[in-house]
Amino acid sequence: DFLSALETDIKPAFGSNEEVLDSYIGTGIIIWDESVQNVLNAGELCTKTLKSPNCDGIFTMLLEGPPNSGTTALAAHMCKNSGFPFVKICSPDEMVGFTETAKCLAIKKIFDDAYKSELSCLLIDDLEGLMEYTPVGPRFSNAVLQVLRVMLKKNPPKKRKLLTICTTSRASMLEEVGLFPVFRVVTRVNNISTGKQLVHVLLNVNDTFSQDDLGRIEKEVKGKRLWIGIKQLLAICSILGQIERHERARFFLEHLEEKGFIRDDLS
Amino acid sequence: DFLSALETDIKPAFGSNEEVLDSYIGTGIIIWDESVQNVLNAGELCTKTLKSPNCDGIFTMLLEGPPNSGTTALAAHMCKNSGFPFVKICSPDEMVGFTETAKCLAIKKIFDDAYKSELSCLLIDDLEGLMEYTPVGPRFSNAVLQVLRVMLKKNPPKKRKLLTICTTSRASMLEEVGLFPVFRVVTRVNNISTGKQLVHVLLNVNDTFSQDDLGRIEKEVKGKRLWIGIKQLLAICSILGQIERHERARFFLEHLEEKGFIRDDLS
Amino acid sequence: DFLSALETDIKPAFGSNEEVLDSYIGTGIIIWDESVQNVLNAGELCTKTLKSPNCDGIFTMLLEGPPNSGTTALAAHMCKNSGFPFVKICSPDEMVGFTETAKCLAIKKIFDDAYKSELSCLLIDDLEGLMEYTPVGPRFSNAVLQVLRVMLKKNPPKKRKLLTICTTSRASMLEEVGLFPVFRVVTRVNNISTGKQLVHVLLNVNDTFSQDDLGRIEKEVKGKRLWIGIKQLLAICSILGQIERHERARFFLEHLEEKGFIRDDLS
Amino acid sequence: DFLSALETDIKPAFGSNEEVLDSYIGTGIIIWDESVQNVLNAGELCTKTLKSPNCDGIFTMLLEGPPNSGTTALAAHMCKNSGFPFVKICSPDEMVGFTETAKCLAIKKIFDDAYKSELSCLLIDDLEGLMEYTPVGPRFSNAVLQVLRVMLKKNPPKKRKLLTICTTSRASMLEEVGLFPVFRVVTRVNNISTGKQLVHVLLNVNDTFSQDDLGRIEKEVKGKRLWIGIKQLLAICSILGQIERHERARFFLEHLEEKGFIRDDLS
Amino acid sequence: DFLSALETDIKPAFGSNEEVLDSYIGTGIIIWDESVQNVLNAGELCTKTLKSPNCDGIFTMLLEGPPNSGTTALAAHMCKNSGFPFVKICSPDEMVGFTETAKCLAIKKIFDDAYKSELSCLLIDDLEGLMEYTPVGPRFSNAVLQVLRVMLKKNPPKKRKLLTICTTSRASMLEEVGLFPVFRVVTRVNNISTGKQLVHVLLNVNDTFSQDDLGRIEKEVKGKRLWIGIKQLLAICSILGQIERHERARFFLEHLEEKGFIRDDLS
Amino acid sequence: DFLSALETDIKPAFGSNEEVLDSYIGTGIIIWDESVQNVLNAGELCTKTLKSPNCDGIFTMLLEGPPNSGTTALAAHMCKNSGFPFVKICSPDEMVGFTETAKCLAIKKIFDDAYKSELSCLLIDDLEGLMEYTPVGPRFSNAVLQVLRVMLKKNPPKKRKLLTICTTSRASMLEEVGLFPVFRVVTRVNNISTGKQLVHVLLNVNDTFSQDDLGRIEKEVKGKRLWIGIKQLLAICSILGQIERHERARFFLEHLEEKGFIRDDLS
Ligand SMILES: Nc1ncnc2c1ncn2[C@@H]1O[C@H](COP(=O)(O)OP(=O)(O)OP(=O)(O)O)[C@@H](O)[C@H]1O
Ligand SMILES: Nc1ncnc2c1ncn2[C@@H]1O[C@H](COP(=O)(O)OP(=O)(O)OP(=O)(O)O)[C@@H](O)[C@H]1O
Ligand SMILES: Nc1ncnc2c1ncn2[C@@H]1O[C@H](COP(=O)(O)OP(=O)(O)OP(=O)(O)O)[C@@H](O)[C@H]1O
Ligand SMILES: Nc1ncnc2c1ncn2[C@@H]1O[C@H](COP(=O)(O)OP(=O)(O)OP(=O)(O)O)[C@@H](O)[C@H]1O
Ligand SMILES: Nc1ncnc2c1ncn2[C@@H]1O[C@H](COP(=O)(O)OP(=O)(O)OP(=O)(O)O)[C@@H](O)[C@H]1O
Ligand SMILES: Nc1ncnc2c1ncn2[C@@H]1O[C@H](COP(=O)(O)OP(=O)(O)OP(=O)(O)O)[C@@H](O)[C@H]1O
Ligand SMILES: [Mg+2]
Ligand SMILES: [Mg+2]
Ligand SMILES: [Mg+2]
Ligand SMILES: [Mg+2]
Ligand SMILES: [Mg+2]
Ligand SMILES: [Mg+2]
């Protein structure tokens, strides 16, 4: 029937859960700033709390940051490091074409599955995507919002422990729709905003820029407003391979400015 | 058929009614303030009124307070203490994925079941959740609202007594949609807002803070605005076990301030 | 089929039409003011008009008053006193869970049934409940509104007489949606607003207050704004039985003030 | 099938087309003012135009006036007097409970039936009722509006003549939704607004008032704003039979003032 | 199946395509002004362009003018004169009662049929009617709009030529919904607005007015604002046959003024 | 079943993928300005980046420009030049009449098909058309938007490379609905706005104007605001063949001015 059909449907098409986690983590986490480490620490603290013997029930954490800032990769990293026997991902890209009701039941099912294990960890990625949120209107699936609200509040059966790590790039929307009170810990993820952070990332992308180029880039950025997500930055870096080595720095800086990632105004 | 299917569906998956009540009560009620006792007293008064021989029909009570303030646990406590032969809970987490019509029929059925007993008590938890209310729009199921309005007004058959205890964190919404006139008694539940109340709770969480720490905490809070629900506070306390004993007070206070539960502004 | 199913469905579960009328009338009408008598007189006049030989067709009356003011009981009283051979009630509590179309057909059927008798009286209770009206939006079933508008305008077959008595607590809404022109007579029902009226009711609730208490209550109320529906007032009285006799007056007055039924401001 | 089912469904339950026309005309037309005669004349002119040999196609007329002003009775009178071999009524009270699509098809069918006769007259009563119009929102069936717009514009087959007489109490709405350009002639029906008109009507209601009373009534009304529809006025007159003869004039005037049909303000 | 059913359904009930075209053209085009000729010329230019050997693909023309201004008759005239082997009409009056999806498929089918002929001409009449547009809201079928937008942009298969002539009385709406960029040529149709134009038309309606009357009418209109569509004007003329010859001019002018087609204000 | 049905349905009716690409490219790209070359270069850079061995995953590009500016032809040109083994087009004109869900599944399927090839290129044409966007409301299919957002963010399976080239004439709308962050490179396409660019195009339309005419046209345009899309311009040129050679320049300039493509105002 429908529910057993669901079970198959939401199983990712290309591999085990571990592999899916890895696909969300991508090329790995670059600790380009102290704030990145803080986020990882918060995840570890929540994990240890729930593991401790005198604690049970549900514990809900939210990672929030701008689009492309890396919230998904960080959350997947936490899930992987939790060492919980049951780890599952709830992501909109596994529910494309579902009706609203099917989506609600699929979400409920993920929780019900988690209840079966004593120690479970759920990554609920892209809350606004799950709710099909659009700021124009605004529009979103109230049914999905309500299921999330109810399931994130609901106590698991006795002696069950459930850690849920959610991500969003629309924290203010969650606030407005009244979903914030269900989160026990809310942690902020940031975009790259200083030349030092930028260079830290570029150094990790192997052999793209010379030491001179890096110096020039850091100098150029100084005194301007920089604001770029790690995902977008890594994508731009991948283009650079097609550019002559001696033109890369100029191309890179021009591109960032043209597309608005660097702005002159400091006011 | 559908209705008999409903009967099974809304039966909680993990145990008897008593157990469900207990799961809503959680770790028990801490009387952290006189106001908590007043709420419990109001519940007792309503119970006794309906039990008295010259009174019958429906009597409807509303517990309203901010999210995480403990309304559900208090209402469940009242139901348990009522000693009524028939006690049932109507909660959105038992209706996840229901269509609007199924939800309406399920609610009606709970009342119809209650009518069968001479003396019944219904806990209707999270009215805004049942209505799938979201302040953005605002959106809510008008059908569910109407069923609640009609069933909370309707007289049970002759010689039947029905106590309904409802909870909400959106009293102003209930006012706006015109549901207030159906409540015979409305009682307010509060958040923790003074250092004294805070310490009262912490004392009940066994062995987390030293006497010195408690003193320091109460002093720090003085002159600031404190506003935290009992549920959120107990969750934070559970993290403290992972923090070194001598760092707990600092961590605890910093966390409360960072997340906005303590604010400097008194204006 | 569906229509014959309707016939059974809308038959109240617990008894004959007479019994249903009685359940709406409740503990009986207290004539706590001249205005109550005027309402009853208006009903009698309409009844007599329709009964007179040179009058036929449909005659539509509206009782409008605030929630809990007793409109339903008064309308039911009029129906019972009409002595018409066919009396039927159309109330939202008999249509819970109906689809919009089912509701429309059920309403139409009640009229069609009435057309079969030469002299019929319909009580259409809680017009805004039938329309599932909510002031937020506002939302309501336009389909039900239209059916009511059409059926309340439509002439019955030749030589048929139909009295329809409608109730509402949302007269201004009916005005706005354009339903007012279908009513031939509109009559206002009021809340209790003077100490004298209040005491009149209390005297009818047997043996609750001493003569002294009643005097004290009337004095206390003087110069303040009192505004309470008869239904709410009778409910509060029912609690008083649980209060020590010598504390009742104080409890009663405090309760009225706390819940906002008595207010200081006269401006 | 559905369409043949329609054929039966929209046939009025209680008699022939003639009888239905009569039931809409009611107790007959009182020519209480020259303006009433003008309306009837306009109808006759349109009828004669279409009957003339060098004219064919569709000719559409609109009677518009406030609720209760008698538009339906006047339109029915015109249809009856047209002497057209095919006369049919399209009224919302014959489509209660129809889905939007069924309604559209039923309307289309009425036109298609009319096309079959060489000379047809359609009374399309209560346009806003057909569209289920409510000023709150506003709400209305756009589908029905569009069908009406299309059918009222559409030319019948060659050598067919079709007169459609429509009524409405929401002319301004028809203007706003863009339906006005389809009407070839628009005629206004009025409420009673002078003492002379009022007395003219009262004289036609046999034996209710003495000559003295009528004089007194006309005098009282002078200098005040009177505004009442013929249908409402006749209903009030029917109550008067229950009032003592010597009290009737006083009762009548008080009632008109109380219910707002007479107002003092002339500004 | 459904699509083959469509094929039959949208075939007009009363004759061949030619006949349908004729029914839209009506009593023929009166060239009451140079501007009428210009419109016809624009149509001829588009026809010739598409017929020329070095041109293929889709060419889309829009005739826009106020209601009753004759856009449909002019467009039908162009289609007839195009001499294209395939001519088809897409009009809302052939889609009454269709669901939105059926409408979309029917429109698509008309284009697909046209693609089969090497040289096709489509008359898409009353764009706002097809979209079920109402300015209140505004409401319209976005699905139909999108189908029109897509089909009017889409290139036919290689070596196919398609001329589409669309009409509308809501050009500003088409602009707002973003449909304008698909039209290669937009042509304006006007209402009659001068005495000279009016008389030109009246002269073509055989034998209604004497030379004197025409002179008087032209003089009366001078200095006033005249604004009337050809369709409405011809309808009024048809009534005149019922009026005594010597009264016609007076009746005609009074009627135009009363119904607002002539206005005094020139400001 | 439905999905296999889809497979057939979205296959274009008239030929292979190559042919479809050609039909979108039309009569070929005219490099009427340096900016046209820049757009083509950007496409080549993205193609080369994805082809390079150390790059995989999805790379998403957006071409945005006003209606008729040629975005579709340019994007189709890029796809053709990419030399990728798998090239597919996702365009609203292949989904006419699809339900919202069918559309979502069809889009998902196109991506899933692309995942099967190691190196794929998707042309997603007319994003606002796919979403059925209308600025009035605004209205659009949120479901389609969400599918696009999810699929454009989702990583293909390991070692798969996917280039998606999207086009739109509503960049600001994409910004508002939050779709911009999924694009790695955004490139602007322009309308023709100078006399020099205009003449460049006219020179490519063989033998329409004499050298003198071109000079005159360029001179006339100077100092005025010119704004016309390449598609609209080529359409006007096609009409010129029907105009006498010596009148073409005048006709051409008058037409551009009359239809608003040339304006006097420079402010
Ligand atoms: N410190 C970091 N934090 C997060 N991601 C990092 C970091 N360093 C490198 N990455 C890489 O950056 C990419 C971040 O992509 P990710 O999908 O997590 O971003 P996102 O914020 O979820 O984007 P979106 O807004 O599309 O949801 C991943 O491929 C990850 O491997
Ligand atoms: N005085 C108290 N009042 C209520 N709850 C208390 C009290 N003392 C301790 N608790 C505990 O606090 C928790 C309150 O959780 P509860 O679910 O009732 O909150 P809530 O206000 O209903 O939250 P929500 O806004 O999520 O509905 C329960 O676990 C309960 O055992
Ligand atoms: N004068 C009175 N008028 C009306 N009801 C009275 C009066 N005196 C006593 N009652 C009692 O008060 C109660 C009024 O309840 P009722 O349901 O009629 O109120 P209501 O205005 O219809 O309330 P609601 O707003 O919930 O529809 C009844 O039980 C009735 O017996
Ligand atoms: N001059 C008149 N014009 C119209 N109706 C008249 C006139 N004189 C008497 N009547 C009577 O008045 C009544 C008018 O009722 P009718 O249903 O036509 O009003 P209406 O304007 O259509 O009302 P509604 O707003 O409910 O549609 C009829 O019963 C008719 O017989
Ligand atoms: N110059 C003219 N242009 C258009 N129609 C004319 C002209 N002269 C005479 N006619 C006649 O006027 C009538 C115009 O009707 P038509 O249906 O074309 O108007 P329309 O603008 O399409 O109206 P609608 O707003 O209802 O769609 C036709 O019967 C046609 O024969
Ligand atoms: N430089 C150019 N850029 C784009 N198209 C060109 C260019 N030169 C010539 N063309 C031709 O112009 C036409 C542009 O049409 P195309 O459908 O691409 O426009 P579009 O912007 O997608 O229009 P729409 O707004 O309708 O989607 C094509 O036929 C193409 O062959
Ligand atoms: Mg993410
Ligand atoms: Mg709760
Ligand atoms: Mg009531
Ligand atoms: Mg009427
Ligand atoms: Mg037309
Ligand atoms: Mg395009």
* CB within 8 Å: A67 and F181: yes
Strand D119-124 relative to strand D86-90, pairing: parallel
Q: Is A171 within 8 Å of chain B by CB? A: no
For residue C151, the SS3 value is: helix
- Cα–Cα distance measured from residue C197 to residue C191, given in angstroms and rounded to the nearest whole number: 10
List, in order, residues 6 or more apart from E189 with CB less than 8 Å away. E39, E63, E64, E65, E69, E70, E71, E74
- Cα–Cα distance measured from residue D58 to residue D42, given in angstroms and rounded to the nearest whole number: 16
Nearest bound ligand to CA D67? 4
pLDDT attached to residue E14: 38
In this model, does residue D7 exceed pLDDT 60? no
* Burial of B40: CB neighbours in 10 Å, binned 0-12, 13-18, 19+: middle
* Burial of E77: CB neighbours in 10 Å, binned 0-12, 13-18, 19+: buried
* Chains with 3 or more CB pairs under 8 A to chain D: C, E
Here the contacts of D170-177 (C-beta below 8 Å, separation 24 or greater) are: D170/D127, D170/D128, D170/D133, D170/D135, D171/D62, D171/D64, D173/D128, D173/D133, D173/D135, D173/D138, D173/D140, D173/E136, D174/D62, D174/D64, D174/D127, D174/D128, D176/E135, D176/E136, D177/D140, D177/D145, D177/E134, D177/E135, D177/E136
What value does the mean pLDDT of chain D take?
91
| Each residue's pLDDT expressed in tens, for chain A with a length of 267 residues | 444 544 444 443 334 578 888 889 988 999 999 999 999 999 999 999 999 988 889 999 999 999 999 999 999 999 999 999 999 999 999 999 999 999 999 999 999 999 999 999 999 999 999 999 999 999 999 999 999 999 999 999 988 999 999 999 999 999 999 999 999 999 999 999 999 999 999 999 878 899 999 999 999 999 899 999 999 999 999 999 899 999 999 999 999 999 999 998 765
Q: Is D237 within 8 Å of chain C by CB? A: no
Q: What is the mean pLDDT of residues E141-164?
A: 96
Tell me the count of C-D CB pairs closer than 8 A: 73
Is-contact A134 A12, C-beta < 8 A?
no
Is-contact D203 D214, C-beta < 8 A?
yes
* CB within 8 Å: A181 and B232: yes
Distance of CA C67 from the midpoint of ligand 3 (Å): 9
In this model, does residue E9 exceed pLDDT 60? no
**Cα angle for residues E237, E241, E244 (degrees, 5° grid):** 120
b (16+ CB within 10 A) / e for A136-174: beebbbbbbbbbbbbbbbbebeeebbbbbbbbbbbbebb
Do B and A touch (≥3 CB pairs < 8 Å)? yes
List C-alpha distances in Å: D260 to B140, C38, C133, D224.
38, 18, 26, 11
- Cα–Cα distance measured from residue B195 to residue B23, given in angstroms and rounded to the nearest whole number: 29
Distance of CA A75 from the midpoint of ligand 1 (Å): 10
Distance of CA F68 from the midpoint of ligand 12 (Å): 7
- Cα–Cα distance measured from residue F190 to residue F39, given in angstroms and rounded to the nearest whole number: 10
pTM > 0.90: yes or no:
yes
List C-alpha distances in Å: D118 to A54, D41, D111, D121.
90, 24, 12, 10
For residue F90, the SS3 value is: strand
Atom in ligand 4 nearest the alpha carbon of residue D28: 31
**Cα angle for residues A130, A134, A136 (degrees, 5° grid):** 165
- Cα–Cα distance measured from residue A152 to residue A169, given in angstroms and rounded to the nearest whole number: 18
- Smallest CA-to-CA distance from A141 within F256, F145, C9 is with F145
Indicate which residue's Cα is closest to atom 2 of ligand 1: A29
Atom in ligand 6 nearest the alpha carbon of residue F36: 1
Nearest-by-CA chain A residue for F172: A136
Strand E161-168 relative to strand E119-124, pairing: parallel
For residue A226, the SS3 value is: strand
End-to-end CA separation in angstroms for chain D = 60
Which contiguous run of DSSP H or E holds residue F125? none
- Smallest CA-to-CA distance from F224 within F190, F255, F265, F187 is with F265
**pLDDT-derived band of residue D54, with 50, 70 and 90 as boundaries?**
confident
* CB within 8 Å: A101 and B97: yes
What distance in Å separates residue E141's CA from the closest CA in chain D? 10
Is-contact E190 E69, C-beta < 8 A?
yes
Distance of CA B30 from the midpoint of ligand 2 (Å): 9
Q: Which residues of B touch C103 (CB under 8 A)?
A: none
Supply the DSSP symbol for B92: G
In this model, does residue C94 exceed pLDDT 90? yes
Give the torsion sign (CA, E201, E207, E210, E211): positive
Q: Which of E97, E136, E238 sits opposite D138 (nearest CB)?
A: E136
Supply the DSSP symbol for B35: H
Is-contact E227 E261, C-beta < 8 A?
yes
Q: Is B12 within 8 Å of chain A by CB? A: no
What distance in Å separates residue E208's CA from the closest CA in chain D? 12
List C-alpha distances in Å: B46 to B157, B165, B171.
20, 10, 20
Phi, psi (deg, nearest 5) at residue D137? 130, -70
Q: Return the biggest CA–CA distance within chain F.
A: 64
Supply the DSSP symbol for F182: G
Kindly report, residue by residue over D65-88, the tens digit of the pLDDT.
Answer: 999 999 999 999 999 999 999 999
Q: Which of B93, B135, B139 sits opposite A154 (nearest CB)?
A: B93
What value does the mean pLDDT of chain B take?
91
What distance in Å separates residue B238's CA from the closest CA in chain A? 7
For residue A225, the SS3 value is: strand
* Token duo for residue F141: 């299919």
- Smallest CA-to-CA distance from F264 within F221, F235, F219 is with F221
pLDDT attached to residue B17: 76
What distance in Å separates residue F225's CA from the closest CA in chain A? 26
Residues with CB under 6 A from ligand 6: E 153, 181; F 25-30, 32, 36, 67-74, 126, 169, 230-231, 234
- Cα–Cα distance measured from residue E54 to residue F27, given in angstroms and rounded to the nearest whole number: 12
B189-198, D5-14, D132-141, E193-202: range with lowest mean pLDDT = D5-14
What distance in Å separates residue C202's CA from the closest CA in chain D? 32
Of the residues C230, C232, C238, which should be mutated to test ligand 3's pocket, given the most ligand atoms within 8 Å of the CB?
Answer: C230
List C-alpha distances in Å: A13 to A16, F112, F156, F157.
9, 10, 11, 9
Tell me the count of A-B CB pairs closer than 8 A: 72
Indicate which residue's Cα is closest to atom 3 of ligand 2: B70
- Cα–Cα distance measured from residue F215 to residue F221, given in angstroms and rounded to the nearest whole number: 10
Indicate which residue's Cα is closest to atom 9 of ligand 4: D29
A229-233, C119-123, E54-58, E194-198: range with lowest mean pLDDT = E54-58
For residue A79, the SS3 value is: helix
In this model, does residue B156 exceed pLDDT 60? yes
Q: Is C52 within 8 Å of chain D by CB? A: yes
pLDDT attached to residue C143: 97
Specify the amino acid at residue E128: E
Q: Is F46 within 8 Å of chain A by CB? A: yes
Do B and C touch (≥3 CB pairs < 8 Å)? yes
* CB within 8 Å: E96 and D150: yes
Give F187's strand partners. Answer: F63
Atom in ligand 1 nearest the alpha carbon of residue A229: 21
- Smallest CA-to-CA distance from E262 within E224, E209, E211 is with E224
* CB within 8 Å: B149 and C136: no
Nearest-by-CA chain B residue for A42: B239
- 110-149 of B, contacting A, C-beta below 8 A: 129, 132, 134-136, 139
Is-contact E229 E70, C-beta < 8 A?
yes
**Cα angle for residues F55, F57, F59 (degrees, 5° grid):** 90
Do D and B touch (≥3 CB pairs < 8 Å)? no
Name the packing angle between helices E230-240 and E248-258 (round to 10°). 140
Q: Tell me the Cα Rg of chain C.
A: 21
Ion ligand 11: protein residues whose beta carbon lies under 5 Å: E 72
Q: Is B158 within 8 Å of chain C by CB? A: yes
Kindly report, residue by residue over A124-176, the tens digit of the pLDDT.
Answer: 999 999 999 999 999 999 999 999 999 999 999 988 999 999 999 999 999 99
* CB within 8 Å: C96 and B147: yes
Supply the DSSP symbol for D139: B
Specify the amino acid at residue B234: L
Give the torsion sign (CA, F229, F235, F239, F240): positive
* Token duo for residue B228: 């935290």
User: What percent of chain D is modeled with pLDDT above 70?
Assistant: 93
- Cα–Cα distance measured from residue E148 to residue E143, given in angstroms and rounded to the nearest whole number: 9
**Cα angle for residues A13, A16, A19 (degrees, 5° grid):** 95
Nearest bound ligand to CA A23? 1
List, in order, residues 6 or more apart from A207 with CB less than 8 Å away. none
* CB within 8 Å: E239 and D46: yes
List, in order, residues 6 or more apart from C249 with CB less than 8 Å away. C209, C213, C216, C217
Is-contact B224 B259, C-beta < 8 A?
no
Strand C119-124 relative to strand C86-90, pairing: parallel
The separation between CA A150 and the C-alpha centre of its own chain, rounded to angstroms, equals 22
| Each residue's pLDDT expressed in tens, for chain F with a length of 267 residues | 444 544 444 443 334 578 888 889 988 999 999 999 999 999 999 999 999 988 889 999 999 999 999 999 999 999 999 999 999 999 999 999 999 999 999 999 999 999 999 999 999 999 999 999 999 999 999 999 999 999 999 999 988 999 999 999 999 999 999 999 999 999 999 999 999 999 999 999 878 899 999 999 999 999 899 999 999 999 999 999 899 999 999 999 999 999 999 998 765
Indicate which residue's Cα is closest to atom 10 of ligand 3: C29
For residue F86, the SS3 value is: strand
- Cα–Cα distance measured from residue F25 to residue E155, given in angstroms and rounded to the nearest whole number: 11
What distance in Å separates residue E100's CA from the closest CA in chain D? 10
List, in order, residues 6 or more apart from D177 with CB less than 8 Å away. D140, D145, E134, E135, E136
Q: What is the mean pLDDT of residues C105-118?
A: 96
b (16+ CB within 10 A) / e for D194-217: ebebbbbbbeebeebbeeebbebb
